Structure 1
Amino acid sequence: MVDAFDVALFSFVLALLAADWGLGPAERGLLGSANSLGMAVGALLAGHIADRWGRRLVFMGTLLLFSLGTMLSALALGFGMMLAFRFFIGLGLGGELPIAATYVSETAPPRERARAVVMAESFWAIGWLLAALLAHFIMAGHGWRAGLLLGGLPALLILYARRNLPESKAFLHLKTDRRKGRDGGGWDRAADGRPTADAGAVSAGQLFDPEHRRGTVTLWTLWWAINFAYYGMFLWLPSLMMARGFDVVQSFEYVLWMTVAQLPGYLSAAWLIERIGRRPVLAFYLLGTAVAAYGFGQASSIAALLGFGAALNFFNLGAWGALYAYTPELYPTALRARGAGTAAAIGRLGAIVAPYAVGWLLGRGFTQAGVFWLFVTVLLLAVVTLLLLGPETKSRATRGEA
């Protein structure tokens, strides 16, 4: 929830900064990209640390990092200072997200694992909704600094609530195995029962071992594509609404109504994912996002904008939930956090490129319809990769092997 609150809040801040500091499209895109660059670095570091020293340490440290960064960014005096703060915030946010999904995946019962991850991710929708409410009722009248000061408070409260959070049992078992010189457990054994990996010798290179290669290529493609589409579309959404002639209050109000569709998107994905599997649910929601992106880019009426905007929120966030459930199940315990963190880091490369690319294209006369065709193409590429290469993990998770 607090992760989404920060990301969503800055999409509204970005629209106000443009007017306050006279920022052009390229500069606004660069601010979004700086945050994503920090998230890429944070995800890589967090995955390594979580597999070596535990999930709980990363869970707590990253939350503190981006909550303080959000509050301090309210004091930014200019573009360069805000750019640095957004990178700093990204370090914490990027490390938090994949490790949170890994932690939930390792602590939930096998038959409920995917649903538990998607339900946990559904609170992203609550964070977006709270940010939209704050923007509509506070920031529209009191400015972006007030929004950022308030934005860091929920994270500090959650940090206090997490103080007694136990370590993942899967990681504790892995730690015990390492001390005894055994393999990492989970499903990383050959058919004859011999261990395929020494828990003390796990490296990022094992992500491309024969048993992991297809899954890794699939995940990297999916994470890159969904980040590109999400951060390209959603960070710009309030600004795009203002560019269509709506004032600040109208734009924030319309985005608020679109945001309401995120929660049913998550809940429907959570309901479907244990019934029909991870891969078909993920493909369906990615295709739905592509159709909604095309419709939003072509929309010429308020009704169409709101309808396709709501569909964007519904399908894109449902796809995010399914992806977070799918990712940890593709790797054994000893490699899980690193696999998830590396995939998230690759995804952030898409998030780095997208906001700046949108600003660059708009600054050179491209229409919103033309920009949204780019998102459609990327999403369709992700669906094709998933269907051709992606393994299904539902049966593995049900047997408690993931």
Structure 2
Amino acid sequence: MSTDLRAALDDGPMSRTQWVAIAVCLLLNMLDGFDVLVMAFTGKSVAAEWGLSATQLGLLLSAAPVGMALGSMLVAPWADRIGRRPIILGCLTLSSVAMLLSSLTQSAGQLGLLRVLAGIGIGSIIASSSVASAEWSNRRWRGLAVSLNATGYALGATLGGLIAVVLIGGYGWRAVFLFGGVATTVAIPLVIWGLPESMDFLLNRRPAGALTRINKLAARCRLPQLTALPEQLTAPRSVSGNYRELLTPRLRRTTLLMWFVFFAVMAGFYFVTSWTPTLLVQAGLTPAQGLTAGTLLNLGGVFGSALLGVLAARFALRSVLRGYLVCTAVLLAVFIASTSQLGLAFAVGIGVGLLVNGCVAGLFAFTATVYDSQVRATGFGTALAISRTGAILAPFAAGALLDAGMSPQQLYLGAGALFVVTAVVLSFVRVATSPRVAAPVAAH
């Protein structure tokens, strides 16, 4: 008897082991959402205690994103070499230590360095956990699994804001970092318990004891046992080899297109989320109404990612993602014009948040189908690093265009056009079609 174990995982029902692994990845992204925005939650209190200027506070706010870009580009690709689980555990340890030490810092320089280190851990965890959640899901629920993983980020940020308000009011800003460090530390044993190494990695990289580990996981997932590892058609590559592989003729077009898609989607996302409250006020709403619309936009994002996952379980993920991109463009085109009716503006704001966050979640899920398992973390990590460029440039570019005389309506139309172009580009991205090799198995 022979079978393809990965195909069995793809086409079979979801087991408890698989759902637990996906739930752990969701928890990790919730922690990441809190850890990334902890500086935003505490910034005012930190600046007041140390007498920081706006420029100095801005540098502190930028420290974690810089670290995330470094982690995505330089650390996450090692998950293709030594495994998703060791990278996640190592980066959880780094992030927890950095958060705990942040509660003891005595200067902005110390805090900034620790924020970079925490960002390195966070960026690596986001890429690795997204890959792990995709690899532990079957084909039907893969879009939902990765989308839920992305939803965790928004949930963590939302809950983190509420927790920060309570802790700062009662114990000061250091308590927020302490809480984040303790919560991240507690996640380490949860990962050890509930997030096994992915079957894809074990089948492709063949670490020591791979066959035994694969069979233990197969038993837990109610899959057939292997009597021997399948024949490898290609030799495992080094980390540097994986980087080079992304730009070989086989993957060059896919990689360059994915870099553009990640850059464009993140640029649009960060423009919308960072400028919406200000631009709505400029369009005629009061400051309080602008902040309310911004909050509703983020609230809509929590549901948008989950909805995309549900739709992806019934329809082709690429088609769902393209639909999200086009619908986002349509709502952006009418967003500012809707401010004459407050209720309509709030409703459109929720819709924009639902769709634009869903675009990010869908992009994460789609990336898992684009690269084969040998370069999946490398491809994901480098694309995330490229996306940070869009996240950094978009808010600055919007400000410069406003200063040059562009209206809010024109900015939203431009962002909408970018989403439409991205939907078109997405049509030309090839999905991975790595060959499957039948492996000898033993019946239960």
**Fold conserved between structures, TM > 0.5:** yes
Q: Greater shift after overlay, 164-173 or 147-156?
A: 147-156
SS in 1 for 2:206: helix
Q: Greater shift after overlay, 230-239 or 48-57?
A: 230-239
> What amino acid sits opposite 2:319 in the alignment?
P
The yes-or-no answer on 1:91 pairing with 2:110 is no
| Residue aligning to 2:360 | 320
| Residue aligning to 2:141 | 112
2:206 alignment partner, one of 161, 176, 183: 176
Partner Cα distance (1:195, 1:121) in 2: 33
> What amino acid sits opposite 2:260 in the alignment?
T
Partner Cα distance (1:305, 1:67) in 2: 40
Is the CA contact 1:266–1:317 (under 8 Å) kept in the aligned structure 2?
yes
- How many residues are matched? 382
| Residue aligning to 1:38 | 67
The yes-or-no answer on 1:271 pairing with 2:301 is no
| Residue aligning to 1:166 | 196
Deviation at 1:242, TM superposition (A): 8.9
2:179 alignment partner, one of 128, 142, 150: 150
1:198 alignment partner, one of 224, 229, 235: 235
Partner Cα distance (1:58, 1:372) in 2: 39
Q: TM-score, normalised by structure 2?
A: 0.71
SS in 2 for 1:199: coil
| Residue aligning to 1:228 | 267
2:91 alignment partner, one of 22, 47, 62: 62
Higher-RCO chain (CA-CA 8 Å, sequence separation at least 6): 1
Deviation at 1:145, TM superposition (A): 4.8
Partner Cα distance (1:48, 1:385) in 2: 25
| Residue aligning to 2:256 | 217
Q: Greater shift after overlay, 228-237 or 274-283?
A: 228-237
Partner Cα distance (1:298, 1:241) in 2: 10
| Residue aligning to 1:183 | none
Listed as ranges, the matches of 1:350-365 within 5 Å are 350-358=390-398
Partner Cα distance (1:232, 1:319) in 2: 14
Partner Cα distance (2:316, 2:408) in 1: 35
Deviation at 1:91, TM superposition (A): 0.9
SS in 2 for 1:110: coil
> What amino acid sits opposite 1:289 in the alignment?
T
| Residue aligning to 1:187 | none
| Residue aligning to 2:377 | 337
Distance of aligned partners of 1:390 and 1:19 in 2 relative to their CA distance in 1, 3 Å threshold: farther
Distance of aligned partners of 1:6 and 1:357 in 2 relative to their CA distance in 1, 3 Å threshold: farther
SS in 2 for 1:340: helix
1:287 alignment partner, one of 326, 329, 333: 326
Is the CA contact 1:5–1:131 (under 8 Å) kept in the aligned structure 2?
yes
Distance of aligned partners of 1:333 and 1:11 in 2 relative to their CA distance in 1, 3 Å threshold: same
Partner Cα distance (1:362, 1:338) in 2: 37
Is the CA contact 2:79–2:377 (under 8 Å) kept in the aligned structure 1?
yes
| Residue aligning to 2:20 | none
Q: Which runs of 5+ in 1 are unaligned?
A: 181-193
> What amino acid sits opposite 1:383 in the alignment?
A
Q: TM-score, normalised by structure 1?
A: 0.78
SS in 1 for 2:65: helix
Q: RMSD over aligned Cα, in angstroms?
A: 4.0
| Residue aligning to 2:348 | 308
Is the CA contact 2:34–2:157 (under 8 Å) kept in the aligned structure 1?
yes
Listed as ranges, the matches of 1:129-148 within 5 Å are 129-134=158-163, 145-148=174-177
Distance of aligned partners of 1:52 and 1:149 in 2 relative to their CA distance in 1, 3 Å threshold: same
Distance of aligned partners of 1:317 and 1:209 in 2 relative to their CA distance in 1, 3 Å threshold: same
Partner Cα distance (2:58, 2:395) in 1: 4
Partner Cα distance (1:77, 1:30) in 2: 17
Is the CA contact 1:17–1:23 (under 8 Å) kept in the aligned structure 2?
no
Distance of aligned partners of 1:14 and 1:177 in 2 relative to their CA distance in 1, 3 Å threshold: closer
Deviation at 1:168, TM superposition (A): 1.4
Is the CA contact 2:296–2:350 (under 8 Å) kept in the aligned structure 1?
yes
Show CA shifts across 1:315-352 (max 9, x none).
12211221111112212222121111111121122223
Partner Cα distance (1:130, 1:400) in 2: 45
Deviation at 1:18, TM superposition (A): 7.7
> What amino acid sits opposite 2:301 in the alignment?
Q
Deviation at 1:203, TM superposition (A): 2.8
SS in 1 for 2:353: helix
Q: Which runs of 5+ in 2 are unaligned?
A: 1-29, 211-230, 439-444
Is the CA contact 1:118–1:324 (under 8 Å) kept in the aligned structure 2?
yes
> What amino acid sits opposite 1:198 in the alignment?
A
Partner Cα distance (2:150, 2:98) in 1: 22
SS in 2 for 1:133: helix
Is the CA contact 2:141–2:309 (under 8 Å) kept in the aligned structure 1?
no
Task: Using the aligned pairs only, state the percent identity.
Answer: 30
Distance of aligned partners of 1:155 and 1:313 in 2 relative to their CA distance in 1, 3 Å threshold: farther
